[in-house]
Amino acid sequence: MTRKTLPGVMFCVGLLLLLTGCSFEPPLHVPPAPPVAAYTAGSRITRTASVKSLGDSGAAQHFAYGRSITSDWWKLFQSPQVNALIRLAVAHSPTLVAAEATLDEAHQNLKAVQGVFFPQVTLNPLAQRERQSGAAFGGKNRTFTLYTGTVNVSYAVDIFGLNRMVTRSLQAQEAQQRYAVREAFLTLEGNTLAIAIDAASLRSRIQTTRRLIAGQRRILRIVRRQYQLGAGTYLDVVNQKSQLAATEATLPPLLQSLAVARHALAILLGVIPSQARLPRLNLRRFRLPRTLPVSLPSTLVRQRPDILSAQAQIVAFNAQVGEAIAQMYPLVQISGDIGFENGRIPNFFNASSVIWNLAASAAVTLFDGGTLRARKRAAQAALRAIVADYQTTVLNAFAQVADALRAIQHDAQTLAYDQQAYVAARAAWRLAQWQYQAGAVAYVTLLTAEEQYQKSRLAVVAAQAQRYKDTAALFVALGGGWWPKQYGSTRAAATRPAIPAPTAKPVEPPAWAVKTKTAGRNGQETANR
């Protein structure tokens, strides 16, 4: 290299380094958080109504705006059975296994693509035995052995940032899958708690219905006795039988719903329904959270996994726009081979056996019928669609929080009215029974009071369960608890500290989850759950 050519070489190297920093990725524009201070219209909700006669289930709830939600938010319901169910679900749910496997797939795909930023080195040893015909050069036939060993080094010079755009897109896709794992955990926790509340509510409704059936049977005996004594009519007996049968007909659907709820819980735990070991959930053992932390609207977009996942999608599609633009420019690659070639192994590493080559290539599309430009415009359109989807996700998130806040407020009011109706209906039913036995009122009056009492009692149970469910829905709508930075992509990092890692010992089932066997009447063993 002469002094005259040195400045030109330095200029080319500098230009190459300058172009390597080029990037055609458009500026990233993520829509900002909605500039609002409240989720609902009108005055801010500070507390709900209370029903003192119902104890804890009728307590008033206070909204603590701006307070962070604990990561184990479901423990606010103070149900050891629910806590155990959620731990078992997190430890054994196949849904989480699938979500984590998808995350690992995205991570490995990212690592595979990142290898393009390093030189690719390939070793190519070769030993060949060859016979050449002498007719080709006017001599005798020749047979010889040739040993060759080369090292190939190739490097794709990312002048226009194509590889960086592909990597950035995959990085965003990995982040999206990480948020999908968080969303899977939150969904599993929320569904487990909601179905547990449903099961407890159904059990309470079944118990209430059975008490109502027992009471109606007592009334039927009284009506029959009065008919036999001539103090009543046979029509009264028939009407009471009809009322009893109608109440009894409501029991099988409740039992079916309870069975479906228990089967759903079993699936969440990752076991076959016939092998599930579930507790007998009781609605009275739940505790209604008195203080409800509510994240501010400005922090909701940084807490809900689905919103964070939508943000990651914007980053990925934004990088894909830059990728589509970079594909319209030349692709530069440098490659070279160096090695040894000789017919004898002892002379293989002699200086005279050295072989090498160096090459540089640049591929550019001169004409493609508008394919690359169309791909660029398609990527830009896809980015606009993803941004619109993100805005829809944010709007739906705010709507879900607003719905949950209003639902909690209205649930308390509904429970208060249902309890008032129940107290009045119970008093009216008892009074109607006394007056009917004394002959002061007709049987129709007793029948009407009895029917109203039945409906009011079931309404109270349903209203109590709805308060618990909507409270849980608020926590889920807010995105659950805060996810510390140290949480990673593995189950041990994404789960709570109380949940063991897959390599740890299996989760021990609680006492209520252990099957015991007792001898049945026929001497066979029967399982008690």
Q: Which two tokens stand for residue 237?
A: 């007996």
pLDDT band at 155 (very low <50, low <70, confident <90, very high): confident
The stretch 195-212 carries a mean pLDDT of 91
Closest Cα to residue 185, out of 487, 388, 508, 515? 487
Q: What is the CATH number of the domain that holds 388?
A: 1.20.1600.10
Burial of 26 (C-beta count, 10 Å sphere; 0-12/13-18/19+): middle
Q: Which residues contact 165 (CB under 8 A, 6 or more apart)?
A: 23, 24, 25, 319, 320, 322, 323, 326
User: 191, 240 in Cβ contact below 8 A?
Assistant: no
In this predicted structure, the answer to whether residue 147 has a pLDDT above a threshold of 80 is yes
pLDDT band at 23 (very low <50, low <70, confident <90, very high): low
Residue entry with tokens 């830009």: 380
The stretch 430-457 carries a mean pLDDT of 83
Q: Which of 137-141, 343-347, 444-448 has the lowest mean pLDDT?
A: 137-141
The stretch 232-256 carries a mean pLDDT of 90
Task: Give the rounded percent of residues in the chain with a pLDDT score beyond 70.
Answer: 86
| Rounded Cα gap, residues 88 and 509, in angstroms | 8
The stretch 159-165 carries a mean pLDDT of 84
Mean pLDDT of all residues belonging to the chain: 82
| Rounded Cα gap, residues 346 and 484, in angstroms | 63
Asked if residue 19 is part of any domain, the answer here is: no
Asked if residue 4 is part of any domain, the answer here is: no
Asked if residue 349 is part of any domain, the answer here is: yes
| Rounded Cα gap, residues 54 and 414, in angstroms | 13
Q: Can you name the residues that pair with 154 across neighbouring β-strands?
A: 120, 335
What local confidence, expressed as pLDDT, does residue 291 receive?
Answer: 92
pLDDT band at 406 (very low <50, low <70, confident <90, very high): very high
Q: State the total domains in the chain.
A: 1
Residue 213: give the domain boundaries: 27-528
Produce one character per residue of 274-296: b if its CB has 16 or more CB atoms within 10 Å, e if not.
Answer: eebbbbebebebbebbeebbbbe
What local confidence, expressed as pLDDT, does residue 513 receive?
Answer: 40
Q: Which residues contact 513 (CB under 8 A, 6 or more apart)?
A: 84, 88, 277, 278, 279
Q: Which two tokens stand for residue 81?
A: 């059975």
DSSP 47: B
Q: Which of 218-227, 244-253, 376-385 has the lowest mean pLDDT?
A: 218-227
Q: Which two tokens stand for residue 333?
A: 């690659």
Asked if residue 358 is part of any domain, the answer here is: yes
What local confidence, expressed as pLDDT, does residue 482 receive?
Answer: 56
Asked if residue 1 is part of any domain, the answer here is: no
Highest mean pLDDT among 116-125, 253-262, 352-361, 451-460: 253-262
The stretch 174-180 carries a mean pLDDT of 91
The stretch 97-126 carries a mean pLDDT of 89
| Rounded Cα gap, residues 436 and 439, in angstroms | 5
What local confidence, expressed as pLDDT, does residue 509 receive?
Answer: 41
Q: Which residues contact 214 (CB under 8 A, 6 or more apart)?
A: none
| Rounded Cα gap, residues 349 and 339, in angstroms | 9
In this predicted structure, the answer to whether residue 510 has a pLDDT above a threshold of 50 is no
The stretch 101-123 carries a mean pLDDT of 89
Asked if residue 285 is part of any domain, the answer here is: yes
**E-state strands within 437-499:** none
In this predicted structure, the answer to whether residue 353 has a pLDDT above a threshold of 50 is yes
Asked if residue 305 is part of any domain, the answer here is: yes
Asked if residue 12 is part of any domain, the answer here is: no
pLDDT band at 495 (very low <50, low <70, confident <90, very high): very low
